[in-house]
Chains A and B, each alone.
Chain A
Amino acid sequence: MPAAPDVPRDLRSLQRLMHRALLRPLATGDRMQRRWMDGRATAEVAAGFVRPNDRLSSLERLEIYNRMYWFRLIDNFHDDNPGLRAVLGPRAFNRLAIAYLTRYPSRSFTLRDLGARLEGFIRRAPRWTAPHTALAVDIARFEWAQTVAFDAPARPVLTTAEIARADPARLRLGLQPYVTLLALRYPVDTYVIAVKQRDALRAEASNASVAARTTARVRRIARPRREPVWIAVHRVDNRLFYKRLERPAYRILAALQAGRPLPRAVAAGGRAVTPAQVQEWFALWRQLGWLCRRK
């Protein structure tokens, strides 16, 4: 009798088959999907490569790994995106997580990179975040910027002597890799701060009483109203900060980041910007350590 089509005969085929099984989203009740991709019973596929024991069938043993995969990744996604979770609510957030992780499973050895493609996914598949897609995009960008600010490298800051030596007309300044500039349609910084403060308070409460945590109603934080804001997400002394920027300041920084020479970057701020403002901004950016040599 010929063997079933996907009974693995070697290490690579076994790993590919098991990998396919683990990455399939869980069914209702966090159970493994009962049907395989080709319509066969998943139990039949599992029995082809996993040994049963006296307590668990092949399917049940495989299901342990299927659950662990999804629980681990969704937990991670949950921890990295508290603002998005608050905007969508737990059920819609969970659906988004499954859809995103199905489309973009991890391609990195570190879970740190899991959310790197979330903004693009939300834009391309708005049904998972509707009717709050525009807000969800802003929050996804803002929360990813925090991951970058937390552990991206720092380059040597520019010294006064280096700036003095350079030809101002040709000088190109870099922006630290851990600084992310965001032009957003919603003031998500204050919203995410409020969500984190609420969650921290709930965590403190849960230390006092587990029962209180499980029964207490979650205080709802009103979603922000549309209002354009310009924000730099950055770090100082390895602590995360969000800094609101005036629009011309944002435009100058964005031009520097894009590699424009200094005069052109300053011009990007617009005609209304005064030399005094520019001087003040650059003094502050230097103080914050944002300006560095270009790579």
Chain B
Amino acid sequence: MPANAFNGHTDYGIGIGLRVPHYSHILSRKPVVDWFEIISENFLVGGGRPLEVLDQILEQYRVVQHGVSLYFGSTDRTDREHLRRLKALVRRTKTPWLSDHLCWGSVDGTYTHDLLPLPYTHEAARRTAAKIRQVRDYLEIPICVENVSSYAEFHLSEMTEWEFLTEVVEQADCGILLDVNNIYVSSRNHGFNPYEYLDGIPAHRVGQMHIAGHTKFEKYILDTHDHPVLDPVWQLYAHATKRCGVTATLLEWDDRIPSFQEVHAEALKANTYIAGARAASKPAPAHARRA
């Protein structure tokens, strides 16, 4: 199910994040890339170089907006000015869907600029789902929420993370941006089985996937986006692709960013696992079935 209501019925293939160190290469060489994901906040500006680059990219490529500060889980009301600018950007990019994180990050109008984990409670699920619906209705496009990597859990939690994610997206009737690396990082930090997570979510709601690298420390793993994707994450991605179907996939590489070619080559490794998932989903040929 590559195309569904949560990604605007698109089949976008493998994309990479649009990052400043690659601007010159992309604009001058025009490499073939299925799509670019932009961080919305970098383009919620009045003018200047950011919007000039964006417009040049939009002439050549498909772009999907990914946000980092809608904070669906914050109890603060959503900033109207933020939404107004976001809607103008949505019209500019014609993004078929918009994603942001299942997290919180602001309190009483003060922002941490972090993606903080929520307590997995029914109250949090209800409030978060209501906010997602409000944003979707205002922006008038499908929303996918991304599971975050986390380093802390709360006594208040009443369910597992994947039960919480399921409750939120069912109540909001929205999609999931399934970050496979984040599932792996959190599974190691909190001691759960990442495959149980993957098997526990509503697969039909997955509109996009993220893959990325992380960094291991002695007592925990940090989601650093500064490495190639590690093998356990690829294995999880293979499982996710088999379970959810071949889905628009994006490699995140945000720190110590290597050349464009290296980032793109790393992203295209996903094709190996996609081919595996496609082969597994095809019915076996008649002679093979007889055997």
Interface residues of A (CB under 8 A from B): 8-12, 14-16, 18-19, 22-23, 48-51, 53-56, 60-62, 64-65, 68-69, 72-73, 105-112, 149-154, 177-178, 235, 238-239
Q: Hey, which chain A residues are within 8 Å of B153, CB to CB?
A: 50-51, 53, 61
Chain B residues with Cβ below 8 Å from A64 are 151-152, 220, 222
Among B106-114, B200-208, B281-289, the stretch in contact with A: B106-114
A128 CA / B127 CA spacing, docked (Å): 42
Question: CB distance B112 to A109 under 8 Å?
Answer: no
Whether A110 lies near B47 (C-beta < 8 A) is no
Q: Which candidate, B118-126, B133-141, B166-174, B234-242, is the interface stretch facing chain A?
A: B118-126
List residues of B whose CB falls within 8 A of some A CB: 41, 44-52, 69, 73-75, 79, 82, 104, 106-114, 116, 118-119, 121, 123-124, 127, 151-157, 189-191, 219-220, 222
Query: How far does the Cβ of A91 sit from chain B's closest Cβ, in whole Å?
Result: 24
Chain B residues near A105 (CB, 8 Å)? 110-111
Residue of chain A at shortest CB distance from B51 = A151
Q: Which of B69, B79, B82, B156 gathers the greatest number of chain A CB atoms within 10 Å?
A: B156
Q: Collect the chain B residues with CB atoms within 8 Å of residue A68's CB.
A: 114
Q: Find out whether the CB atom of A18 lies under 8 angstroms from the CB atom of B116.
A: yes
Partner of A154, one of B47, B75, B189: B47
Kindly provide the distance from the CB of B107 to the nearest chain A CB, expressed in whole angstroms: 4
Bound-state CA distance A113–B47 (Å) is 15
| Chain B neighbourhood of A16, CB < 8 A | 107-108
A150 and B114 contacting across the interface, CB-CB below 8 Å? no
Cα–Cα distance between A173 and B255 once the two chains are bound (Å): 44
Q: Inside 8 A of A65's CB, which chain B residues have their CB?
A: 114, 116, 151-152
Chain B CB within 10 Å, residue with most, of A18, A50, A152: A18
Chain B residues with Cβ below 8 Å from A11 are 73, 75, 118-119, 121, 123-124, 127
Given contacts A49-B156, A153-B47, contact A72 B114 (CB under 8 A): yes
Closest Cβ of chain A to B198, distance in Å, is: 22
Contact check, B111 vs A108: say whether CB atoms are below 8 A apart. Answer: yes
A238 B119 Cβ-Cβ under 8 A: no
Sample (26) of A-B pairs whose CB atoms are under 8 Å apart: A8-B156, A11-B73, A11-B118, A11-B123, A15-B107, A15-B116, A22-B114, A51-B152, A51-B153, A51-B154, A51-B155, A107-B110, A108-B111, A110-B44, A150-B48, A150-B50, A151-B45, A151-B47, A151-B48, A152-B47, A153-B47, A154-B46, A177-B46, A178-B48, A238-B48, A239-B49
Known: A68-B114, A152-B47, A238-B52. A55 touches B220 (CB 8 A): yes
Q: Which chain A positions have C-beta within 8 A of B119?
A: 11, 14
CB distance from B140 to the nearest CB of A (A): 20
Q: Are B49 and A238 in contact (CB under 8 A)?
A: yes
| B47 near A109: Cβ-Cβ < 8 Å | no
Please, how many angstroms separate the alpha-carbon atoms of A151 and B114 in the complex?
A: 23
List of B residues within 8 angstroms of A111 by Cβ: 41, 113
B154 contacts A151, CB within 8 Å? no
CA distance A73 to B154 in the complex (A): 25
Report the minimum CB–CB distance from B243 to chain A (whole Å). 28
Residue among A8, A9, A110, A177 with the highest chain B CB neighbour number at 10 A: A110
